[in-house]
Amino acid sequence: MGQSLGWHMDLATSGEQALHMLQQRSAQGIFYQAIFVDWNMPHMDGFTVAELIKESPTLARATIMMLTSGSHPKDAARCRELGIASYLTKPIKQSDLLNAIVTALYSTSVPTRASSLSPLSALPKSPYVLRILLVEDNPINRRLAVLMLEKWGHSVVVATNGREALSALAREPFALVLMDVQMPEMDGFEASRRINAQWPATKRPRIVAMTANAMQGDREMCLAAGMDDYLTKPIRVDALVGALQRTPARGASP
C-alpha cells in the first residue's frame, strides 16, 4: 500500500536492526516520516524501540505507529507516555490502517524538524460545507483524500479522470474541484481547459491542481490551463486547509 502512495519503504526484522537503520539513514541526512513497530519482537519489544527512538533528537521527529497481535490493559497509557500516534491490533484492515495514517501522519503539515502532530479535528475548518469533486486516478490517494475531507464535514464526489469529472460537473454543481494533473484518458490540464470553456467564470467551481511534480514552471502551467490554485503531492494538510478556506461558497451549504 505504501508503495502505491509513492512512499519509499525500508524493512527491518528486529528492533536492533531498525535502530541501526535509523541511525545510518540519519547520518546520511535521510529521516523517516513514519515508523511502524511490531510490539512483540524477540530481544527488544516495540515499546523499547519506540522509547529509544524518542530519546534521540534526530530520530524523534518520526511518527511512530504500534502494531500488536493482542490488546494489553496498560498499552494505551504507554503509547500516550511515549507519544506513539496509533496502536493497531493485527490483523489490520486496510480501512483501519488508512484511518490511522490519515489521523496520525496527515493531520498537519509534513514536519522536517518537529515531531508534534495536531488531530484533524483541531485544524481550522471552513465556515460552510463544501461540495467537492475529487478527480484522482490512484485509489489509495482517493481514499486518503476522501477520509480527510469528510472528517472536516465536506461532501465529496470522486472521479477517476478528466472525462468523468466533466460528466459529474454536468450533473450537479460543485464549489471546488481537486484536480490531479496526470491521469489516463483525459489529464487535468485538458479537463480544466474544457471546464473554463463550458462554464463562465462566475458559474464554474474553483479548480485546484494536485501534482506530484514540483518543477519550476509547473504552477504557471496549471494557471495557464485555467486552474486557480496548485498543491504538490504528498499533499500537506495545512496547504489543503488553505485551499478549502479560499474557496467561495458556490455549491456549499452553511
Which regions of the chain are under pLDDT 50?
Answer: 4, 108-123, 252-254
pLDDT value of position 96: 74
Q: Contact at 8 Å (CB) between 78 and 123? A: no
Q: Which fold has domain 3-118?
A: Rossmann fold (3.40.50)
Given this model, what pLDDT does residue 248 score?
A: 81
Whether a cis peptide bond, with omega within 30° of 0, leads into 234 is: yes
Angle at 213 between CA 208 and CA 217, to 5 degrees: 80
> For residue 8, what pLDDT is reported?
72
Instruction: Give the list of residues 6+ apart from residue 253 with CB closer than 8 angstroms, or none.
Output: 128, 129, 131
* Tens of pLDDT, residues 178-232: 999 999 999 999 999 999 999 998 889 999 999 876 666 778 889 899 999 999 8
pLDDT number for residue 125: 55
The reply to whether 123-245 shares the fold of 3-118 is yes
- Indicate the domain borders of the chain: 3-118, 123-245
| Domain 123-245 sits in CATH 2.60.40.420 | no
What is the Cα–Cα distance from 235 to 219, expressed in whole angstroms?
15
**Prediction pTM value:** 0.61
* Residues in contact with 217: Cβ distance below 8 Å, sequence separation at least 6, in sequence order: none
Predicted local distance difference test score (pLDDT) of residue 160: 96
Classify residue 178 by burial, with Cβ atoms within 10 Å: 0-12, 13-18, 19+: buried
